[in-house]
Amino acid sequence: MPCIAAKELTFKVKGKVIVKDLSAELCGGLNVVLGPNGAGKTTLLRLFAGVLRPTQGSVLIDGAPPDKVRARISYVPAQLSLDPMTRVVDLAEAINYGKDGSWRKRLREYLSTLGIEWAAERRFSTLSSGEQRLATIAAALSRGGDVIIADEPTEFLDVSNRAKVFALFRGLVNKGALVIIATHDVRRAGQADRVLVLSRGVVTFAGQPGEGLVEALSKAYGVDAKTLLEA
């Protein structure tokens, strides 16, 4: 089971601290990172995926830094600004840099699981926001890594597609993958094996969803979290 270990992780940009002295260990399972805008969720995920380098501290995936195990990482970015002419298959090919051609088969499988098997040769500009999101997830997963890091994977998705995406991630977890998702979809926390709540770059809750989570969320978002979870 893959493990990500963050040790005394700090990330600063232009003197501003985004992630502060963060230590956490996530081994396998479906992990959900919650927190208000600007809490540092995206930065933390990018540090995990090796897209950003820590200012201090370290990220280790099964004992190795992310750039030594990049073939194992599938990263779904929150947003991509693409040439409008980019096709889904073009994005997947770009994502699979340094990999053999087996990604094509995986891309078709994931597109089909997400219900958009017709989209492979389509241009992004011809897809709806939700379809673009699903296609980006399928393209990222086609890398075939067992460490899956997804930033806002359910943004723009309707209820049924959100369920599809979570079912897909759950299936990957059952096959032994480590999945880490950042989301604003607080209600999904109940389906996670582990929840991290971030507030101003610091972990204020880490563990299984439960009573402590409600309190941490209430504090982080500054509202009664029960209403968020039930809404």
Q: How far is the CB of 106 from another protein (least distance, A)?
A: 16
Closer CB to another protein, residue 75 or residue 221?
75
Contacts of 210 (CB under 8 A, 6+ apart): none
Residues 230, 57: Cα–Cα separation, whole Å: 37
Binding another protein (rule: CB under 8 A), the pick from 37, 98, 100, 227 is 98
Told to check if 106 binds another protein by CB under 8 A, we report no
**85 burial via Cβ count (<10 Å: 0-12, 13-18, 19+):** exposed
Q: How far is the CB of 94 from another protein (least distance, A)?
A: 4
Residues 188, 192: Cα–Cα separation, whole Å: 7
Residue ranges of the alpha helices (H) in the chain? 41-49, 88-95, 103-113, 129-141, 159-174, 211-221, 225-230
Closer CB to another protein, residue 46 or residue 106?
46
Site string for another protein, 48-87 (x = CB under 8 A): -xxxx-------------xx--x--x-x-x--xxxxxxxx
Instruction: Residue 60: name the closest of 140, 181, 68 by CA.
Output: 68
Region of 28-36, 117-125, 193-201, 202-210 interacting with another protein (CB under 8 A) = 117-125
| Range 26-55, binding another protein (CB under 8 A) | 46, 49-52
User: By 3-state DSSP, what share of the chain in percent is helix, strand and coil, each rounded to 5?
Assistant: 40, 30, 30
Closer CB to another protein, residue 78 or residue 228?
78
Positions touching another protein (CB under 8 A) are 46, 49-52, 66-67, 70, 73, 75, 77, 80-87, 89-91, 93-95, 97-98, 121, 123, 125
